[in-house]
Structure 1
C-alpha cells in the first residue's frame, strides 16, 4: 500500500448516484490479497497497514461506495480480482449473499460474533457496529422524542437536520420498509418532507448544526458525537444524543462487515480468511472501539469510555442482510423529493 492509483467504476450506471468513484492503493508488486473496501480510506488505512504486516503479504485496496462495489462484484462474478469485500453496511453484503457471490465462513469464525450481527447464510460477518441516534440541542429540546415517527408532527417543522444521501440514513429507511412496510415508510418520508428538514452534506455537519442551534434535532450515527467529544471535550459540545427505545426503526444498529468472494484462488482465499480473523481480533476490535468509537463485536473488547454498552440498547430486531434493497429505498426517497 505505497502509492494511490485511480480506477473507474464500471458497475450499473444507476449506482453512480450513490457515491464516489473507486480509488485504489497498492504496491508495484503483484497483490497477494485484493480488498474492495466500502469503508473510507482515511478511516481504515492504518488498520489495513497493520493487516498487511500481520499477513506478511502484499495487500491492494480499492476504495469506493459499498453499494457500487457490491454491484461491481456481481458484474465481475468469478472473474473478479477481489478476494475480500469490506463493506460499510450489511445491505451490500446481503446483496452479494443473495446472489451467492460469497464463500461460506468457518463456524469458528462465525461464532466470534453474535448471530444478529452476521449473515444468516453464514457467508459474511459484522466487524463493527453503529447505532442510529437523535442528536438534540437541550436548550431547544429538553426531552428528545422516543421515536422517529414523532418527527413528522407539525411541531418539528423546520427543526430537523439530516443527510438524505448518506448510506446510513438510507439503510435506516430500508429497515423501516422491512419492519413496517413500503406504504408506512413512504408516509413517514412524506411527513418528513412536509416538515421541511434541512439537508446537510454529511453527518458531522448535521451534528454541528444541532450544536450551533441551527436545528433542534438531527439524525446521525452515535459515533460522530463521541468522536467530537473526544476531540473537543464533552463540555465543549452543546449537542447531546438520544438512543431510541422499544425497537423503534430510528434506533437501527447496523454493522460494517466482511465477506470472502467466491472465485478467489486458493492462495488469495487463504489470505482473505486470515484477514477476516484478524479483523475480529482484539487488536482490530480495539481499533474500532477507540479510534472510530464504533461498537466492537468480537474478542471480548469493550466499547469506548462513555459509549453505552451494546447490550443495553433496544434496536429493532431485523435480519441485517435484508437491508440489501437500497436502490428501491433511494428511488422512494427521490420520488418523495428529499433528494
Structure 2
C-alpha cells in the first residue's frame, strides 16, 4: 500500500524546541547470561534511558543486574524524545546510560557535552569505525542501507555501484521509498553531507519523479518481493527478518550492498550507548557497556534484530555480507544529528 508522506508530530515538536538536534526514530529468545562476576553495587539504581524497542532488548537488559552488580531501572521511549529529554534535563537528569537507536541522537548529546568518554579498554573491543573518535559513544550493533531488489524483475541491480543508477528512467514507478522513515532520513542527511544541499535536492527531485512512496521499509520489501516494484531503499535486516518469518524458499528479494564510500547508499548506521556525564553510576554504566559487547550479548542481538555485531569473531545474520567487509559511506556518524534541514528538504520535495 502506498502512502502520502506526513512528518511525524513527535519530530515536528522536537524541531521546534531549542537545543534539539536529534534524529527521529519514528520474539523472544533465551537471554545471554553475564560472563563474569561483578562487584556489588550501591543502593542507587543504574538508570538507563532506552530508545531501543522494549520487545527487542528487554531480555538482554533484564540480565544487566547480574552483570553490573547493582539494581537496574530501564525507561523505554522513542530515541528522539529521550534525547530531547536528556537535552532538557541536562545535569539534572537521573539517567546514567543512554541506549540509542541511532548515531545522530548520540552525536547530539555529545555536541551538548552531556556524555563522558567510555573506558578505552571497553571501546577497543569495537570495530573502530563504530566508536566515536573521542570515545563518547560505542555502537552495540550496526545496520546497513541496501538496495533490496527482485532478481526476477531487475537482475542487473546486482551490479549496481551507486544509488544514482536507480534514477534511470526505465525504473519509473518501480523504486520503493519511505520518506517518513528515520532510516531514509539518515540516508538523506548523509547525502547532504557528501554532495551538498543543491546536489542532494537534485537527487531527491529525480527520485520522487519515478518513485513509489510507502509507509516503511517492511512495505517496500513486501512490494519488491511481490514484483510490485523492482527495488527499494531499505535497511538490510528487513530481508533477514522476512526470511525468518516465511522461509527462504518464499523470499525472492535480495539485498545489494553498494560498498561505495562515496555514496550515501552505503551508509552504515548504528545502535549504541553513551555514558551520561557526571553520572554517579559511571562505573556500573561502563560495566553495562562491557556486558552489551560481550560475545553472548552480541549473538543475542544478532538473533533478535538481524543487525550486525560490532566486535570481532561474532557471526552476523545467516547469509549476510560480513560487517568487516563493508565499505560504508564516508560520513561522520555524529553529523547525522543534522536532521532539521533534511526534514525540510524531504517535505519540500515529497509534499
The aligned residue for residue 206 of structure 2 is 191
Aligned length: 319
1:240-251 equivalence runs, <5 A: 240-247=254-261, 248-251=263-266
* Runs of 5+ consecutive residues of structure 2 not aligned to the other structure: 1-9, 27-42
**Are 2:266 and 2:329, in contact at CA under 8 Å, matched by a contact in 1?**
yes
Is the deviation greater in 117-126 or in 295-304? 295-304
**Are 1:12 and 1:71, in contact at CA under 8 Å, matched by a contact in 2?**
no
The aligned residue for residue 249 of structure 2 is 235
Query: Distance in 2 between the 1:59 and 1:199 partners?
Result: 41
**Are 2:25 and 2:101, in contact at CA under 8 Å, matched by a contact in 1?**
no
The aligned residue for residue 59 of structure 2 is 46
Query: Distance in 2 between the 1:318 and 1:12 partners?
Result: 23
Is the deviation greater in 60-69 or in 92-101? 60-69
Compared CA separation, residues 312 and 326, structure 1 to 2 (3 A): same
Deviation at 1:18, TM superposition (A): 4.1
1:202 to 216, 225, 231: 216
- Encode CA deviations 1:173-216: one digit per residue, 9 max, x unaligned: 11111111121111111111111x22222211211111111211
Deviation at 1:56, TM superposition (A): 4.2
2:161 to 139, 146, 155: 146
The aligned residue for residue 216 of structure 1 is 230
The aligned residue for residue 114 of structure 2 is 101
Deviation at 1:283, TM superposition (A): 1.5
Q: Using structure 2 for the length normalisation, give the TM-score.
A: 0.84
Compared CA separation, residues 11 and 245, structure 1 to 2 (3 A): closer
Deviation at 1:112, TM superposition (A): 1.1
2:319 to 297, 306, 315: 306
The aligned residue for residue 111 of structure 1 is 124
Query: Distance in 2 between the 1:283 and 1:245 partners?
Result: 28
**Are 1:210 and 1:218, in contact at CA under 8 Å, matched by a contact in 2?**
yes
Deviation at 1:17, TM superposition (A): 11
Deviation at 1:111, TM superposition (A): 0.8
For the residue of structure 2 that corresponds to 1:113, the secondary structure is coil
Q: Does 1:325 align with 2:338?
A: yes
Query: Distance in 1 between the 2:197 and 2:82 partners?
Result: 26
**Are 1:161 and 1:206, in contact at CA under 8 Å, matched by a contact in 2?**
yes
* Runs of 5+ consecutive residues of structure 1 not aligned to the other structure: 1-7, 21-29
**Are 1:103 and 1:262, in contact at CA under 8 Å, matched by a contact in 2?**
yes
For the residue of structure 2 that corresponds to 1:294, the secondary structure is coil
Deviation at 1:19, TM superposition (A): 5.5
**Are 1:200 and 1:206, in contact at CA under 8 Å, matched by a contact in 2?**
yes
Q: Does 1:73 align with 2:86?
A: yes
The structure showing larger relative contact order (alpha-carbon pairs under 8 Å, at least 6 residues apart) is 2
The aligned residue for residue 23 of structure 1 is none
Deviation at 1:300, TM superposition (A): 2.6
Q: Does 1:64 align with 2:91?
A: no
For the residue of structure 2 that corresponds to 1:187, the secondary structure is helix
The aligned residue for residue 257 of structure 1 is 272
Q: Does 1:286 align with 2:295?
A: no
The aligned residue for residue 270 of structure 1 is 283
Compared CA separation, residues 60 and 327, structure 1 to 2 (3 A): farther
1:122 to 101, 110, 135: 135
Compared CA separation, residues 148 and 11, structure 1 to 2 (3 A): closer
**Are 1:83 and 1:264, in contact at CA under 8 Å, matched by a contact in 2?**
yes
